Amino acid sequence: MTEETTLSPAMQPRPAPPLPVQNRVTVFGELTRVLRTRPDWLYGMLASWLLGFGTFAFLVVCTKPNLANPMNPVVVPVILTAVADGSLTNQLAAEPRWAADLLRSGADPGRILLARNLLLAVWELMFVALVVALTVWVGHSSAWVRPALPQLAVLPIASIAIGNLASVLVPSPFMRMSKRFQAKGTWARWTIYIAIPWGLSSVALAMWALPVYLERRWEPHVVTHVLDLQHYAPTVQRVTHTYFIIWLVIIPLWHLTVWLMSLRLAQTLARMRRQGLIRLMERHLELTQRLPDLSLRAAARQLPSRIREIPKDLRGELALLSSGLLEATATAARLWVP
């Protein structure tokens, strides 16, 4: 008999309980984890802030805008530049190992996207506050801040949510540049990843331009309607207050509606593509582990050969996207069939 069999059942060692899987993602928990671990994408988002401040310096020095009312000429382009670039950091693949472990443990990808949306909104609102403070300091005028607060509060929201769609349809796991320059078969996806911020900037700018166009187009009709509703001749101040209330409500509701619709669609697609996302991130982790740790200069020497591979990679990405959509369609059909 072995020593283990001679022990009574009460004295035999019990197996260690399984470690609990933290598959519930919260905004506060994400903020704490990001500040504690400082993932690479965080530094990428801070770099996008520097890009925004560079745009601010260029506009102020080269265009000489009127900083007494800088919302359209300065503040909006600067915020959209940085937010559109940083909005991709909320994607599920920003931290491949963390996301793959969560999805494998049964975490809801829709909830992950929601928590990352709210976390990223906090970061981007910090950037908005810095831009506003810098504009007030340079322009020596803060009169424009108070009426523009609703627009400033929702300005980053639409880009963040539209970035969800890009991150679910074309996820691009984050990789250090020294290894990205060496990686094969990922350059088409990375090219799309680099191009998406420009598309997000255009979409967000169009969203901002629509209310501005409506404002200029329908301003006489709005003022006339307000005059008709009153039984007495209102002062210019009352008409202005009514006018601002109308547009300071419509613009935020417009951006919040786009954010909600984009987020819901992204959540649905993420749930359908759960297994595909897990497989993509596992392949990414295997590729990263196989690549040698070269210096940035040595890795950059492989750029010409990697760039020539983009057409071949693009065909592979299109085939992969088609299979992913077929998988999502089949999953949706199974869910809807009683």
Q: Extract long-range pairs of 142-147: CB within 8 Å, 24+ residues apart.
A: 143/68, 144/68, 144/69, 144/70, 144/71, 147/244, 147/248
- According to the per-residue pLDDT averaged within each range, which of 45-59, 85-99, 163-177 is highest? 45-59
Identify the H or E element spanning 176: none
Q: What is the pLDDT at residue 16?
A: 41
The span from the CA of 143 to the CA of 151, in Å, is 15
The span from the CA of 117 to the CA of 94, in Å, is 13
Q: What is the pLDDT at residue 334?
A: 66
Q: What is the pLDDT at residue 291?
A: 84
Task: Give residue for tokens 């975490």.
Answer: 107
The span from the CA of 237 to the CA of 30, in Å, is 46
Dihedral of the alpha carbons of 77, 80, 84, 90, in degrees to the nearest 10: 160
pLDDT tens, residue by residue, 124-150: 899 999 999 999 998 888 888 887 888
| One-character DSSP codes across 66-120 | -TTS-IIIIIHHHHHHHHHHHGGGGSGGGSHHHHHHHHHTT--HHHHHHHHHHHH
% of the chain beyond a pLDDT of 70:
77
The span from the CA of 170 to the CA of 191, in Å, is 11
Q: Residue 245 — very low, low, confident or very high, per pLDDT cuts 50/70/90?
A: low
- Residue among 185, 195, 194, 168 at smallest CA distance from 99: 168
Q: Residue 6 — very low, low, confident or very high, per pLDDT cuts 50/70/90?
A: very low
Residue 106 makes CB contacts below 8 A (sequence gap 6+) with: 21, 23
pLDDT tens, residue by residue, 184-199: 777 777 777 777 777 7
- According to the per-residue pLDDT averaged within each range, which of 70-74, 260-264, 334-338 is highest? 260-264
Q: What is the pLDDT at residue 130?
A: 92
Q: Which has the higher per-residue pLDDT, 199 or 42?
A: 42
- Residue among 178, 180, 222, 187 at smallest CA distance from 315: 187
The conformation of residue 184, written as its DSSP 8-state character, comes to S
The span from the CA of 283 to the CA of 277, in Å, is 10
Q: What is the pLDDT at residue 237?
A: 52
Task: Give residue for tokens 């909600």.
Answer: 260
Cβ proximity of 92 and 171 under 8 Å: yes
The span from the CA of 318 to the CA of 84, in Å, is 24
The conformation of residue 12, written as its DSSP 8-state character, comes to S
pLDDT tens, residue by residue, 209-230: 776 666 666 655 555 555 555 5
Identify the H or E element spanning 1: none
pTM exceeds 0.85 for this model: no
- The CA distances from residue 73 to 63, 64, 141, 154, 309, in Å, are 9, 10, 15, 18, 40
